[in-house]
Structure 1
Amino acid sequence: MSNLIPSPLISAVADIVAERETHASLDSLFLHGGAPEEPPAGSKHVKALEWLRRTNKECANPLQVLGRIIEGYMEEPPPTASPFDDFPPATVTPEQDKINKALARYELKYMRGGHIVASLGAPTRTLEEFIRGRDIPSIEQEFHRAMENVESGPREAVSAASNILESLCKVHISEEQIDMPAKQDLKPVWTIVRKHLGFDPSIVEDQDLQTILTGLFAVVDGIGALRTHASSAHGAGKKSYKLEPRHARLAIHAAHTVALYVIESWDKRKK
């Protein structure tokens, strides 16, 4: 994924800040976000366009700068309902809608805290919705850490992908009041959770589902091993893994798929 701000996104943000900000507040917003110093001359719209283009040329991570600039707009609460409204209120502000559409054209998305990341696909979006509906700060923190570091820090992203599963397993064990194992890394806690939820290929009649479920166990083992051997969670040994963003994406996709299956199975068991 390129870290450059796409031109249509530059135009959308320039339109918004020119309408919402004064010259003084625009300067403060951009400088606080990490844009290059010395504000350009011209009208607010011209200034914003030129400043964002300079950000692409002069900043190491332009999307990171943009995320901080648009944070206030993207985290505004949606419009409130009125008893006189003929239709339900919008769930996003006009500025959020405009920015989200520009981001989506380039498979980007805004994440809370001023982060712009690559959209990783359906499992990630669905897991984000599940996490948002529950108050589980530890999982939400690791989810965001994984998404933020795919491109810039794949070792960190792999570590977070493993931690998502580890945190989810610990939350499950705690809420179900199961005895926590003495060793609390991924493999022991995962073993307890999968047994508690009945993830046992030997009792599944369909052979194809047996194969998938068996593969699920291998995926979790692989994610845990990759975290141990190649992530930022441990010092490197003699053999150095050359992790790339595609490897991090693979680990994150796999971890998110397993996490979704655990959550959905857990919900079904509760019902």
Structure 2
Amino acid sequence: MRQLIPAAVLALTAELSSERETHATLDSLFTYAGAPGDPPEGSKHAKALAWLRRANGDSANPLNVLGRILEGYMEQVLDPNDRWDKEKIAQRDKLARALADSNLQYVKGGRVVGAMGTPTRTLSEFIREGDLESIDQEFQRAVQNAATSPREAVSAASNILESVCKVVIAEEGLPMPSKQDLQSVWGVVRKHLGIDPSKVEEQDLQQILTGLIAVVHGIGSLRTHASSAHGAGKAPYRLEPRHARLAIHAAHTLALFVLESWRKRGNG
């Protein structure tokens, strides 16, 4: 379905690009983004507005154009302690909020996609349909949050893994454990799919599978332990973005392995 650039997002993008670019770089940016036609006449702001409106009218996918325009602004590495960068961060946050208000989000790599209003239910549908691209987007969303909210990003990765396991349990008619945390539902799915290092002859694969099993316990524990200090008098758990990204990528690998193993059985 063809989706237009919302008016509020269009206005903020025109304002941002006209502030950051010269006429020459603005022309180059919009041409790179695939904005249709020659550069419009007028000031930088008027040019950007007209070109974005033309994209809404003539482009096959206006959001693709928008994503490429925003790529440099949304992914630029900024220093929150620098006075000039603070302003850029504020502009980026304002644009992200405008996208969210229109049920959209920026995804790394120059893409603007729909934001899911009911993530768990929608994710379950994706899992049942074997829509790996959409599942990848859920993990990418977690990666995007790792820098600003590493604990929430780890929780998101853990929730995706839980959803994968719960869908397999429901679709296969397996008994749902009374405690439905990650480790419990994983135990049911692991047994059903035969993910058991002792049943694999190749030693290298044994080691990898053993590591994957440890990943589940690590992610579940990390989500729990990072939420609070370990007892009175001890320093709080300091979860850094690099830790969050490690957990997210590990969870992504495991989720795809489970889905592929399920599919191999003829059920996924």
The interval holding the TM-score normalised by the smaller chain is 0.5 to 0.7
* Alpha-carbon contact 1:139-1:168 (below 8 Å) kept: no
Match of 1:65 among 85, 91, 94: 94
Q: Distance in 1 between matches of 2:256 and 2:100?
A: 28
Aligned ranges 1:107-186 → 2 under 5 Å: 108-113=109-114, 134=130, 143=139, 146-186=142-182
Q: Is the Cα–Cα contact under 8 Å of residues 68 and 114 in structure 1 kept in the other structure?
A: no
The offset of 1:109, in angstroms, is: 4.0
Tell me which amino acid in the other structure corresponds to 2:157.
Answer: A
Return 5+ residue gaps in structure 2 as ranges. 1-15, 34-43, 55-72, 74-83, 117-122
Structure 1 regions of 5+ residues with no counterpart?
Answer: 23-48, 50-54, 76-99, 116-126
Corresponding residue to 1:220 among 208, 212, 216: 216
Counterpart-to-counterpart distance in 1, 2:145 and 2:193: 31
Q: How many residues align?
A: 192
1:72 Cα shift?
A: 11
Partner SS state of residue 111, structure 2 = strand
- What TM-score do the two structures reach when normalised by structure 2? 0.57
Report the aligned-residue RMSD. 4.4
Residue in structure 2 matching 1:260, options 256, 261, 264: 256
Distance 1:237 1:141, change over 3 A: farther
Summarize the alignment of residues 1-271 of structure 1 with structure 2, pairs less than 5 Å apart.
Answer: 11-12=29-30, 17-21=49-53, 58=87, 60-67=89-96, 108-113=109-114, 134=130, 143=139, 146-230=142-226, 234-238=227-231, 239-270=235-266
Q: CA deviation at 1:56?
A: 5.8
Instruction: Spell out structure 1 runs of 4+ moving beyond 2 A.
Output: 4-18, 55-75, 107-115, 130-136, 138-145, 234-239
Alpha-carbon spacing, 1:139–1:229, altered in 2? closer, same or farther (3 Å):
farther
Structure 1 position 175, deviation (Å):
0.8
Contact 2:128 2:167 in 1 (8 A): no
Whole-angstrom CA distance in 1 between matches of 2:112 and 2:193: 31
Q: Secondary structure at the match of 1:243?
A: coil
Q: CA deviation at 1:151?
A: 1.2
Report if aligned partners of 1:67, 1:114 keep a CA contact under 8 Å in 2. no
Distance in 2 separating the partners of 1:60 and 1:174: 43
> In the TM superposition, what is the alpha-carbon distance from 1:58 to its structure 2 partner?
2.2
8 Å CA contact retained: 1:158, 1:251: yes
Hey, what's the Cα distance between the residues in 1 that align with 2:198 and 2:249? 26
Q: 1:201 to 1:57 in 2, by over 3 A?
A: closer
Q: Secondary structure at the match of 1:160?
A: helix
Contact kept? 2:230, 2:237, Cα under 8 Å:
no
- Offset of residue 111 of structure 1: 4.9
Q: Percent of counterpart pairs with the same letter?
A: 55
SS at match of 1:194: helix
User: What is the alpha-carbon distance in structure 2 between the residues aligned to residue 224 and residue 111 of structure 1?
Assistant: 31
CA 1:236 to 1:57, structure 2 compared with 1: closer, same or farther past 3 Å?
closer
Taking the aligned partners of 1:132 and 1:176, their CA distance within structure 2 comes to 11
Query: How far apart are the structure 1 equivalents of 2:237 and 2:153?
Result: 14
Q: Which amino acid aligns with 1:258?
A: L
Asked if 2 retains the 8 angstrom alpha-carbon contact of 1:67 and 1:110, the reply is no
SS in 1 for 2:146: coil
Q: Say whether the 8 Å CA contact 1:131–1:140 is kept in structure 2.
A: no
User: What is the distance in 2 between the residues matched to 1:252 and 1:145?
Assistant: 10
Provide the rounded CA distance (Å) in 2 between the counterparts of 1:114 and 1:184.
26
